[in-house]
Structure 1
Amino acid sequence: MNGLPDLQLVPRFAGPFLEPGHLGTMCVFLLYLNRFALKKMGNIVLLVGVLFSLSLAAYGLLLGSIVIYLYQQRKFLWISLILGVFLCVGFGAMIYNDGDNALNTAIVMRLEVNDDGEIAGNNRTSMAFDSAYARFLKSNQIWTGVGSAAFGTHENGTDNITLGCASYKRYFFLRGIIGSMLIVIFLLFYCLYYRSSWSFGFFIVYLVANLIRDYPTMEMWMYLYLMAIPCLSLMQKQQIKKIE
């Protein structure tokens, strides 16, 4: 259990993962693959895993994946209802106990926009990294990326400029235009080979998740993507045959 310092009574659940957000993201992946069939106990457990992660990224990804799923099912009224539920819960969290509650502190307050136009919960990169990233965008390294040089030379990793950072910026910083384009092209073409709206929906969810986490080639996520795309395509074809 990983807890926020100011939330002693409601710790954030991370399960076997390093961070609660990792758990929440994986649960969202699996919920989409299971087509949000909440009649199955396993999917309810996955949903609870997302909720107890208290991860802003996981909550946003959950909402987005639900909207994609409902759009695919042509349930447009349900999309409005789900969005309404999320808004009502958010306002309720702001009001309940004058905002002194876990949901408001971990999620709602982090959606506030600062004076500089940034969302308060946007803590994916450090100030040191942002400074290095700005210089990187103007350098010749933008094509191939900084690579392992970003990890520094000290054995304890204290001069690792990417330490504590996670987002598409870090991936782009390390691999540049060429490396970043190659992985996106691979993910897209693999999806198009098993062309279906369900598969493409998962491609969108996976892409958004990696704009936040930047783990597109991490084995746990990549293997899931490689297996999920053809399975979703087959599942959709089977459903169409049943309807016909």
Structure 2
Amino acid sequence: MNPFLASIYQIFYTLLPILVFLNFNTEENKIFLKRLINLFSIILLFSLITFLLHFFFDLPYVITKNNNDFYPPFKNFFTFVISENGDLGWFTRFSSIYTEPGHLSMTCAIFLFIMGYTWKKWQNILMTIALVWSLSLAGVILYFIGMILYFTAKSNNIPLTVFKIISCSLLIIILGISYYSPTNNDIISVKILSRLEFDESKGISGNNRNSIVFDQYYDNVTHSDKRYLGIGRHQMTEKYGGTGNSSYKNYILGNGYISFFGIIFLMSILLYSFPSKKGTGLMLLLCASFLQRPYFLWAIQVMPYIAALSCWCRLSHDKAKYRQNQKLFSTYKI
């Protein structure tokens, strides 16, 4: 498909549903978020229970193939899936019913920010367990970034909050460094800590989102006339379909800088329309997620973003109005 036509197609395919969703009022957005996160958590509940049972019992499954050749066949247990060559017993990465553990952890990190990280909510407990058991380095990083942004946004004393966060982060880093050894074979060392080792070419060894060949082609295209509209979805599929490449570079290469900055503009104009501190934090979290997985236009990201911004803006407006009324009342009280 012609890159220009592909861009038009993407506008109608992604932006029209967003425009419809923008007509929801705050109460409807609140109901949407509640039902979406409850449904997601119920799926996780059944997935986690049966995932645990499969370690002790031979549960029935069928072999399912993904349309993307990058993925090997899956063992489909109906309430969760495992890559056919990824069943490693207790070391198996949990992905529930979703294609990748990284997709699951990314969604959990975003929903945990929206829910506020409190352990008083059963949904948060399930999502935290799922995120940790996904053994996704990106998911863990997003989780901590989200916590930093959330509690900074909520704080009335930002310098003190930042100091506490930095102190806790340094403590975790020191504990991780003192615990880790290349000879360790435990799941945390192998799947997470080993991927944080320094690498001269990639920064950290776990930074494997794009291959060297991809980066070279990306550099060539982004210095040519194709950088504005990208090479198009069809050519992206031909060249890199079935490969493990996934980062913001994929989006720019396929859709061009115009579309990329269009997404930044969309995120910003939504935040400008529904301003709040937590909304700013959520936007920054989604930007961090976009660096690794450019999926902001997926409904599971953009629609909760819109709904949460609307709810938080209304809440902050109501609080401001309450404080204004309280001040007015105190002025005239006897």
Which TM-score tier does this pair reach, normalised by the shorter chain?
0.7 to 0.9
Query: Is 1:87 the equivalent of 2:167?
Result: no
Structure with greater contact order relative to length (CA < 8 Å, sep ≥ 6): 2
Mean Cα displacement is larger for which, 68-77 or 205-214?
68-77
RMSD over aligned Cα atoms: 2.5
- TM normalised by structure 1 equals 0.86
Q: Is the 8 A contact 2:86 2:92 kept in 1?
A: no
User: Hey, what does 2:189 align to over in structure 1?
Assistant: 104
User: Hey, what does 1:185 align to over in structure 2?
Assistant: 265
Q: Is the 8 A contact 1:93 1:108 kept in 2?
A: no
1:199 to 279, 282, 304: 279
Query: Is 1:210 the equivalent of 2:317?
Result: no
Mean Cα displacement is larger for which, 176-185 or 122-131?
122-131
Compared CA separation, residues 147 and 54, structure 1 to 2 (3 A): same
1:160 to 239, 261, 265: 239
Q: Is the 8 A contact 1:110 1:119 kept in 2?
A: yes
Query: Is 1:49 the equivalent of 2:101?
Result: no
CA distance in 1, matches of 2:239, 2:172: 38
CA distance in 1, matches of 2:317, 2:130: 30
2:103 counterpart SS class: helix
- Partner letter of residue 44 of structure 1? I
Compared CA separation, residues 196 and 129, structure 1 to 2 (3 A): same
Query: Is 1:172 the equivalent of 2:252?
Result: yes
User: Hey, what does 1:58 align to over in structure 2?
Assistant: 139
Q: What is the percent sequence identity of the aligned residues? A: 24
Query: Is 1:148 the equivalent of 2:230?
Result: no
CA distance in 1, matches of 2:322, 2:168: 28
CA distance in 1, matches of 2:137, 2:275: 31
User: Hey, what does 1:37 align to over in structure 2?
Assistant: 118
2:203 counterpart SS class: coil
CA distance in 2, matches of 1:44, 1:89: 24
1:64-83 alignment runs, 5 A limit: 64-72=145-153, 73=155, 74=157, 75-76=161-162, 78-83=164-169
1:26 to 89, 107, 111: 107
User: Hey, what does 1:155 align to over in structure 2?
Assistant: none
CA distance in 2, matches of 1:91, 1:7: 26
1:96-117 alpha-carbon deviations (Å, 9 max, x no partner) = x942111111111111122335
Aligned residues, how many?
237
Larger Rg: 2
CA distance in 2, matches of 1:122, 1:102: 19
Compared CA separation, residues 135 and 10, structure 1 to 2 (3 A): same
1:175-233 alpha-carbon deviations (Å, 9 max, x no partner) = 11111111110111101111111111101111111111001111222222121211222
